[in-house]
Chains A and B, each alone.
Chain A
Amino acid sequence: SYELTQPPSVSVSPGQTASITCSGDKLGDKYACWYQQKPGQSPILVIYQSNKRPSGIPERFSGSNSGNTATLTITGTQAMDEADYYCQAWDSSAVVFGGGTKLTVL
């Protein structure tokens, strides 16, 4: 079965750039998307089709996807961005999530 691998944790200082990676076999040939989940809340879609932002998502969130790696980039990270982030792709008829990355802003 298809697998997506994320680092368990990433730390960033306020105002700096955070990058969260997601690796999977030939992931660049698929659409990747990213979800943000804060404690006690449901996930929110922040990036779809690898590099597009839904309405209402700040411009500091961006995405890329090439080769075997998709990347979520947060430019000018704010304290409110501290959350768990999950990548997701499609494998035939199933949805696959990465294991999640806890982003700490300190």
Chain B
Amino acid sequence: EVQLVQSGGGLVQPGGSLRLSCAASGFTFRSYWMHWVRQVPGKGLVWVSRIKSDGSSTDYADSVKGRFTISRDNAKNTLYLQMNSLRAEDTAMYYCARDSVVVTALDYWGQGTLVTVSS
């Protein structure tokens, strides 16, 4: 069974940093691109970032470019999102998701982790 288990959210002050983790199991993690998607409570889904299966290529939404870094450890089957210089507008539920090239969609999602940026 494919599972994506997230951790690392919480309350952080503006300007602070936080690292999110997404532990994968039930599939060959090193073979899949992975994404982060966020959602302000009560609002829509917004794509944040993606990383290639071997970690050699990354892409970011303009809103987080230069502040967030996506990475992965294929030996640990874990995806990360390092978030620096956090702003109030980064407050959201963050989801990791698997990118299946077979279906060209995000076919499995983590349970989400809430990040709150507030003083």
Residues of A whose CB lies within 8 Å of any CB of B are: 1, 31, 33, 35, 37, 42-45, 48-49, 52, 54, 86, 88, 90, 93-100
Contacts of A33 in B (CB 8 A): 103-106
Check A86–B44 contact: CB distance below 8 A: yes
Query: Is the interface on chain B under 10, 10 to 19, 20 to 34, or 35 or more residues?
Result: 20 to 34
A90–B33 Cα gap in the complex (Å)?
14
Report whether over half of chain B's contact residues are helix, strand or loop; otherwise say mixed: strand
Check A97–B109 contact: CB distance below 8 A: no
Closest CB-CB distance, B23 to chain A, in whole Å?
15
Check B103–A54 contact: CB distance below 8 A: yes
State whether A88 and B110 are in contact (beta carbons under 8 Å apart), knowing that A42-B95, A43-B95 are contacts in the complex: no
Q: Given contacts A44-B109, A93-B59, A97-B46, could you give 10 more A-B pairs where the C-beta distance is less than 8 Å?
A: A31-B104, A35-B45, A42-B95, A42-B111, A43-B45, A49-B103, A86-B44, A97-B37, A97-B47, A98-B44
State whether A42 and B110 are in contact (beta carbons under 8 Å apart), knowing that A48-B104, A54-B103, A90-B104 are contacts in the complex: yes
Interface residue? B61 (CB, 8 A): yes
State whether A97 and B59 are in contact (beta carbons under 8 Å apart), knowing that A45-B106, A48-B107, A88-B106 are contacts in the complex: no
Contacts of B72 in A (CB 8 A): none
Contacts of B45 in A (CB 8 A): 35, 37, 43, 86, 88, 97, 100
